[in-house]
Structure formats: C-alpha cells, structure tokens
Amino acid sequence: MTTILWLKAFHVFFMVAWFAGIFYLPRIFVNHAESNEPLVQQHFKGMERRLLYFITPFAIFTVLLGIAIIIQYGYAWFVAAKWLHIKISLVVLLLIYHGYCFKLVNTFAADKNTRSGKFYRFFNEIPVILMLAIIILVYIKPF
C-alpha cells in the first residue's frame, strides 16, 4: 500500500504542476491576441513556447504515474472502476487540448493568429471544467 500512496502523491504533484501551466498558457494567448505592439508580441511568443515545453514533461509524468497506479491496483480493480474509465476519457481530452496548444503556439509564432482574446478566454475554461470533472470522479466515484 505504501507504493500506491507514493505513486498517488507524485501523480497529484505532477497533475497540479501541469494544470498550473495549462491554466496560464491560454491567458498568455489572450494577451498576445489583444496586443498590437511587435516587441510585446515577440515577448509573448517566447513565453508561450517556454511554458508549453516546460509543462509537457509534467503531463507525461502525470500519465505515466496514473498508469503505474492502475498497474499497482490490478486488472480486476481497473475493470470494476467505471469512474476511472470516464476519468481516462477526460484525461485524453486534456491531452488533445495540450496538443492543440502546440498548434496555437506555432500559429502565434508565425504571426498567423486570427482569433480574438475573447476566444482564448473561453478556450481557457476547458481545462478548468475538465479538472473539476476529474476531481469529482476521483473523490466521489459516482460510477
């Protein structure tokens, strides 16, 4: 049981670090989309790229530790834990979101963004909703 607790502790640590960055990155997109100053836009390009590459290992460790936890609990537990299947689906959506952020960083880097700051404000809410749903699934286990 001690191994599972250590895995869970590090899983949560990397998840929190990942979400901190995935919450902040779209806020940079908002400011970038609303800026008309070339020097400021250049600064945002660097911030976006560095942040995305900084948080990507956190996403990888979150997923790997989640898999390790599933392995520790065993196949029978995995099959019975219906809430976990939904959680995994939501994590896959979050990984797609993360991957799409790479596209957005490249779009901004090429000065090809056509979306408004308002779009990115809404875009920023997606990981918030996913995190809430994931936390409810993990702690309440409604299924």
Residue 3 and residue 50 in contact, taking contact as beta carbons nearer than 8 Å: no
With a cut of 80, say whether residue 48 has pLDDT above it: yes
Q: So what's the pLDDT on residue 143?
A: 84
| Structural domain for 73, as ranges | 2-140
Phi first, then psi: give them for residue 60, nearest 5 degrees. -65, -45
Q: So what's the pLDDT on residue 87?
A: 98
**Total domain count for the chain?**
1
**Mean of all residue pLDDT scores within the chain:** 97
Single out the residue of 115, 122, 136 nearest to residue 33, CA to CA. 115
How does pLDDT run across 52-104, given as a tens digit for each residue? 999 999 999 999 999 999 999 999 999 999 999 999 999 999 999 999 999 99
CA distance 103 to 101: 5
With a cut of 70, say whether residue 1 has pLDDT above it: no
